[in-house]
Structure 1
Amino acid sequence: MDKSCKRIIIGIDDTDSREGMCTTYLGALLIDELSDFCNPVGDPLLIRLNPTIPYKTRGNASVAMCFNCNEPEKLIGHVVSRISSLARMECENTNPGVVFIMEEDFGKAKPLLSEFFLHAVRDVISIEEAKSLAENLGLTFRAFKNGRGLIGALAACGAMLDKEWEHTYEFLTYRKTEACGTKRFVDSDSLFEADLRTYPGTWDSVDRFNELVVCVPRSPDPVLYGIRGNTRFAVEAAVAMVRSEEIERSCIYRTNQGTDMHLMHTQGVDDVLDMHSYMLEGTVATASHTIRGGHSIFILEDDSGKTIDCAAFEPTKNFREIIRKLIPGDRVIVYGSVMESTLNIEKIQIISLAQLVENRNPLCPSCGKRMKSAGTGQGYRCRKCATESLETQSLQVKRDLEAGFYEVPPCARRHLAKPLIRFRDSDASLFPGR
């Protein structure tokens, strides 16, 4: 290797809009183009940020990549030019940011940017905070429009510098430019077959219960489909089985998707804030009720007596049936994000079930048959024996529910939410008896 070559990390965010473009596509394009005069180092990164941020365009993802390069100015100029020409600048909510970190700055940048990375996944960060950090570290960066993309760009750089975090992979394929905006062709049967043959190494390609394809987007962006999995080998094996329209390019990203990195432990409701995500333990205080739109909501009470609404929204489909079976007294841990003082449930652990008791007409002590009502306020009477009673009989009813973990279906899963199949692989102690 040329001794004049030095590593350069590039972080990019917020180049897309709801009408088109995709930051991961720009990353894939730049990897191909920069490879003409630079050498890629390691895996490119796809980093999902705080999923509750209202300014996000679609998936709130940033990207980072690393190169060995002896022409840093040429690299910087090319990247800035590509962002300027491809980012959807006409969109009010598209505010790109790009950060370049030279090898000599890795040491001083790593501790602060590693912390910033986790902060960006879990908390709310201001544009001013991001700009101040980049300036104080003396980094080369470019903020377009209001520069909100600097937040994700810095976070992605932090992830590249600090590789000690749980990761998965996504194999993303991209459409030819002339096909963008038209109906995608990805053969559904081939996706279900690929899922069957590579699961649980890959996951969330399809939703078998609801018979839906999950990995093909509906928005008018360049992504054709994306396969998520635990290893590069698994996603490559699945993609090899997929039949689709011709692709322009593809890229395998290392990512924090499917890791629950956004979730924080909290001791109680008093510590819960909007636009943050939590694991919160408590007791079901009310049975769920269904509101207009099909959303099911119950009240959870923590150990101090404070309460919060917990919701399984309509897109979670069959998961709502689990929530509807909860009764007061059930002990649970809810996992999810809080918006407008309501926790949007991504999965739930039922720790223990309360006893369900039903009051029934009493049995006749003489003939063993159930008595009939004798009239309002008059108790019960056996029609055969004329035996009378003023008391009902309380019976414990078997619950149609078991303790354990339950999750939303793949069609409703957030990018960062960890599927239970991945818990079973890495956290077997959470599934006693399985």
Structure 2
Amino acid sequence: MGSGIGTGGPPSSFPYPFTLGLDDSDTPWGGCTTHLAWILLRELDEKVLFADHPLLVRLNPVVPRKTRGNAAVVVRGYSKKPQTDLLEIAVNLAESYAERRPPGKNPGVALYPGVDAWRDPRLRRLYHKALSTYIPRDLARDWASKAGVIARGGSGVVGAVSSLAALAPGDPYTYELIAYRRRENLARERCVKRDPHHSSSEPLCSMANYDLLAGKLASAPGGPDPVLAGFRGWDASCLGRLSELLCEEPAGWVLYRSNQHTGIAGIAGSPKPRPYNYVSVRGRVVRGPWEMAGGHVFVIVESLQGTLTVAFYRETGPLRDAARMLTVGDHVVVEGGVVPRSEGPTLAARRPRRGEARTADREGRATMPKVRC
């Protein structure tokens, strides 16, 4: 991790600075926002001068109606043609990308007329809020309009606008190198080596690519989306060595700069423990632990923010095992997503570590982070 990439003035042949945000292009039938970004990057190749790597921006993982992994993509650069021309290209690609979409899933595209959206305090604040809270669409559109952002589309507007000010100079970051599948291979099972002994050859610059507990690779998704594999790490120069794990020829690659595994949500501050917020709670165990069907462990924690039920789901593995050893009076710090349950809001715990190797699924449960759109 390190500081962000700085930007200079626009070259004379590329006079129009821009930042484009994309979100909500995934579907259960195979769409993926990063794949749409790859298509857009190829379309823009000779039309723009890129100012940075494309950005893979992870937002609050427990909001309802999110994308898989809740990631938006941001592209920064300078254009030969006015920014609105680029916006039309992006909107047309997003609209034609997926033929079928489930209810409530509509892509969003946002355009800021500059490469430094992080300088706008409203956009920067919106980004920080979107890391751990629920952002209503009306709020995102209102703040976008006041910041000079043009937003087009449906539910994806929230992520597209909220991600524009991500990864400012000085923000911590990591990399993800994503390979995409050839069209003729989409109906076939992915060919990515899953030999558990391959973990010994993983470069020291990489992270969260191998699940040691399960003894399997975590870099290949399991669904029908067009991602072949994605490799995460701190040093972009050596991630390419992991391509030896591929036994299927990819259609192409994109190297993303990302805020994932950086602890940025904690840096931005923790909100109140309300449903669909991602929080950190410091308090004292006042009841439990007790175990529910399925092997999930629960405790009740009392803190300055109130009394809250904390769930350590079976998928958290060692964290769930550690929770079994808690006793009344123990002081704890718990991080995770607050999810609504019939018994009341519940904090689904996950490991609060920078560079940690787990993420939250749709129920807020901590799981090994397979590559997600």
- 2:338, 2:313 → 1: CA distance? 13
- 1:210, 1:132 → 2: CA distance? 45
Supply the AA of the counterpart residue of 2:165.
G
Confirm or deny that 1:294 pairs with 2:300: no
Q: Which residue of 2 aligns with 1:347?
A: 351
1:84 deviates by 1.4
Q: Which residue of 2 aligns with 1:152?
A: 159
Listed one character per residue, the Cα deviations across residues 267-307 of structure 1 (whole Å, up to 9, x for unaligned) are: 9xxx4212112221222223321111211111222268x43
1:115 deviates by 1.3
Confirm or deny that 1:65 pairs with 2:69: no
Aligned pair in 2 of structure 1 residues 108, 312: CA closer, same or farther (>3 Å)?
closer
Alignment of 1:11-410 (within 5 A): 11-72=21-82, 73-87=84-98, 90-103=101-114, 110-143=120-153, 147-159=154-166, 162-189=168-195, 193=198, 195-198=199-202, 200-239=204-243, 241-263=244-266, 271-302=272-303, 306-340=306-340, 341-347=345-351, 410=357
Unpaired runs of 5+ residues, structure 1, are 349-404, 420-434
1:22 deviates by 0.5
Judge conservation of contact 1:174–1:222 (CA < 8 Å) in 2: yes
Q: Which residue of 2 aligns with 1:426?
A: none
Judge conservation of contact 1:17–1:93 (CA < 8 Å) in 2: no
Aligned pair in 2 of structure 1 residues 258, 417: CA closer, same or farther (>3 Å)?
farther
Aligned pair in 2 of structure 1 residues 332, 88: CA closer, same or farther (>3 Å)?
farther
Match of 1:413 among 344, 356, 359: 359
Q: Which moved more, 1:71-80 or 1:339-348?
A: 71-80
1:184 deviates by 0.9
Aligned pair in 2 of structure 1 residues 418, 295: CA closer, same or farther (>3 Å)?
closer
Supply the AA of the counterpart residue of 1:83.
A
Judge conservation of contact 1:346–1:407 (CA < 8 Å) in 2: no
Supply the AA of the counterpart residue of 2:109.
V
Judge conservation of contact 2:23–2:157 (CA < 8 Å) in 1: yes
- 1:295, 1:418 → 2: CA distance? 12
- 1:14, 1:337 → 2: CA distance? 20
Largest Rg, 1 or 2 = 1
SS in 1 for 2:120: helix
- 1:36, 1:155 → 2: CA distance? 27
- 1:279, 1:93 → 2: CA distance? 30
Judge conservation of contact 2:110–2:151 (CA < 8 Å) in 1: yes
1:111 deviates by 2.1
- 1:130, 1:265 → 2: CA distance? 19
Aligned pair in 2 of structure 1 residues 106, 79: CA closer, same or farther (>3 Å)?
same
SS in 2 for 1:15: coil
Supply the AA of the counterpart residue of 2:186.
C
**RMSD, matched Cα:** 2.9
Judge conservation of contact 1:20–1:88 (CA < 8 Å) in 2: no
- Report the TM-score when normalising by structure 1: 0.73
SS in 2 for 1:258: coil
Supply the AA of the counterpart residue of 1:197.
S
Alignment size in residue pairs: 349
SS in 1 for 2:165: helix
Unpaired runs of 5+ residues, structure 2, are 1-10, 368-373
Supply the AA of the counterpart residue of 1:149.
G
Judge conservation of contact 2:263–2:354 (CA < 8 Å) in 1: no
- 1:172, 1:417 → 2: CA distance? 25
SS in 2 for 1:286: strand
Aligned pair in 2 of structure 1 residues 406, 99: CA closer, same or farther (>3 Å)?
closer
- 1:265, 1:110 → 2: CA distance? 19
Listed one character per residue, the Cα deviations across residues 300-327 of structure 1 (whole Å, up to 9, x for unaligned) are: 22268x4321111122234321111122
Listed one character per residue, the Cα deviations across residues 148-168 of structure 1 (whole Å, up to 9, x for unaligned) are: 2111111221116x3332211
Supply the AA of the counterpart residue of 2:61.
P
- 2:365, 2:255 → 1: CA distance? 20
SS in 2 for 1:68: strand
1:37 deviates by 2.4
Supply the AA of the counterpart residue of 1:175.
R
Listed one character per residue, the Cα deviations across residues 84-119 of structure 1 (whole Å, up to 9, x for unaligned) are: 11035532132111112223x957972221111111
- Report the TM-score when normalising by structure 2: 0.84
